[in-house]
Structure 1
Amino acid sequence: MIPLEWVARRVATGSFLKRNPGVQEGYWFDPAKLEIFYKDDENNDPQWSEEQVIAQGITASGVTVKRPEVDLMKRVTVLVFEALEKAWDLKQCALIDMKVEFGVTAEGELVLADVIDNDSWRVWPAGDKRLQLDKQFYRDLDAVTDDALTKLKENYAKVAGIVKSFTTPVKGRAVILMGSKADNAYATAIQDACSNLGVPAIKRVSSAHKTTDTTLDIIAQYKSDRVPTVFIAVAGRSNGLGPVTAGNTTFPVINAPPLNDTWSSQDIWSSLRMPSGLGCTTVIGAEEAALAAAKILSLVDHMIFGRLLVQQLKSFVTVMKADAAMEKDNDLKIVSPFARKYSVANLNGH
């Protein structure tokens, strides 16, 4: 374990107010406020800056905590907080703050290594501190009575029930409309990319030019069941499918034309230059189409929202590892004359 506690805060309350006099309770942090505390019971877990963490040279399982490790812990802390915040928000509860810790595996991998439960966060139903459901209720008691303990147990049972409902089936879907069966391979790639993000995707075939009435009937099928839906129009050559769909539904419509090297420069304009009043968007590539659909659906679905956060984290880690590998390969060392270290004596002398 790395002896650090990472705290993410959305609202100023509790110990933060004591350490930061002048800040009013309820101050809203956007982005979330991050704080680091060194685990030292004898000194009441002092707050540390990122610079103190790096300068300390903490080592766990052979890994020394440096700037990349600090950056990764920051990002994971925010990811976990935002994912849980979204889940709580959909239950009409505000996640006020949260604490997590990290560790390093025997293989040298930095991981979140903590239990996240009702002792780790503050949760206020409807954002009302008086209704708090977490351990802070117990800490704030003037006297521990049987009635207070009963209330505490009720709070914990309620939180357990809510948290159990966090894992839910996805609420939305993507409907991939193909202009012809020839687009099936590309549509399947979009469907697979949607699946990776937890978005159910349905494939349909209908030509807006040749079978207009059928296209309108298919669109109408997805209006009545109240499932949040994003249409992805896959049509090569002249794209009439996207505009017709967008003009006959209030659901978002994404054009994802299957471009090729022969006519791409001409065909793309039928997806970009839309008639007014449609609000149709265009992306290039199967993964981009799936991502665009997932981001729209994440507004109403915390499961998809969490998957998007994880994908962004994976992208960050990939770039971070590539940079670390590149840094090792750099043989040229240029030392700036301003980079030399001064001793305390030298500084006093100047």
Structure 2
Amino acid sequence: MSVLTNLITPQLEKIHSGKVRESFRVDAEHRLIVATDRISAFDSVLKTAIPGKGAVLNSLAAFWFEKTQDIVPNHFVKLIDPNISLVREAKPIKVEMIVRGYLTGSAWRGYQKGKRQVSGVPIPDGMKKNQAFPQPIVTPTTKEESDREISAEDLVKEGWVDAATYQKMAEISLKLFKRGSEFLAERGIILVDTKYEFGLVDGQLVLIDEIHTPDSSRFWSKEDYENHPENAEQLDKEYVRSYLLQNKKDGRYPAELPPEVVAETTRRYREIFRMITGSELPDTEEDVRQRVYKNLLKAGLIKPGFVAFVMGSPSDEAHARKMQKEVEKYGVFSELRVVSAHKNGERIPQVVEDYNLSVEPGVVVAIAGRSNGLGGALAANLTIPVINCPPFSDKTDLMVNVNSSLMMPSNTPAATVIDPKNAAQFAVRCLNLPALREQIMNEIQQMKKDLIDADRKLRGR
């Protein structure tokens, strides 16, 4: 099944990569939030991705943002793709507001060991596993490398947030929890506990990140809880946590999940989405990267393809700019980079990763003259076309040094085009973009017409 473990494109600036989500700059006021299919537990990202998980998280968060905007403004603008949201840029408050309605999870594990408070909030003696609190409680944590329980007083004392803002966050969190609990109860779901995150937009407190998703919340089947309160069916990520706890060895959790656990986790995520929204998401067999590419293109956030001009030296810039100008006529994205195969070849793996995993089609033009090791190094590692276009100073330079671009090692497929304009046009044609075929065909027809017109003029006809 298709998964989205990351989004890579040279056309968008990545500004953050978290355990599950990635952020990209759109402009000064907006960013893209990409919910990948990665899954984390116990502060670690597992090697195994969960098909469709990102679409559930992102689309469900969008659903809840719209359902709760009367309680608190949020950063959500619109869905770009089931996995991607356009949001307003916010200054995050580094505090997670965790609201608990029941004694379970880490709070219960601590309770069993005699712990009688969470984040400074007292818990009475004599409670049972999964028992409801008399009233939901707010138990904040700091957002650090490892989340840390902390009391409201210490949050203010340590400077994480001021007292007035914290009080407002706590009040809003309880209202959101009440709204979510009532809505879900009508659908046979118990909202057990959840987290909320806040930020500031132009000084205004807004809800950010996600809300009431299987990653940020714990859900139980209401019917199952009433029949088996201590072992209620879990409809969230706790299923994965339970598997990891049961298979912990020598103090370490498994780094991967077996196929049957992956399949069941996918089923649970999709089922909770259907139960909450009444809608279905795209099938997990769909090529998610192709869908993302098409939706980013449709939203005007990327161009249909890219041509990267990789120079061996800054002195090659003028040569590269000639080709870049030609490429831009076709409405494709282009960028210039400087990487020397001989002087800082250790950067080539990063270039390869940036382009091999890009969501859109691309072509690389290698620009290096004498002893062209750059084109060969790129062609040996890239899965996209590589074109050599050396910056020869004159015909003598060309005759002496062209062989280093023409003679590539075995299994190193790189074309060599001497004329910069031809190289740029060849790069665009290598993209093989349907949207450009008509434009290229018109250029071909115009070229033929110009030749015929010139011939007629010479012959006086």
Tell me which interval the TM-score lies in, with the shorter structure as reference length.
0.3 to 0.5
Task: Flag the structure with larger Rg.
Answer: 2
TM-score by length of 1: 0.44
Using structure 2 for the length normalisation, give the TM-score. Answer: 0.34
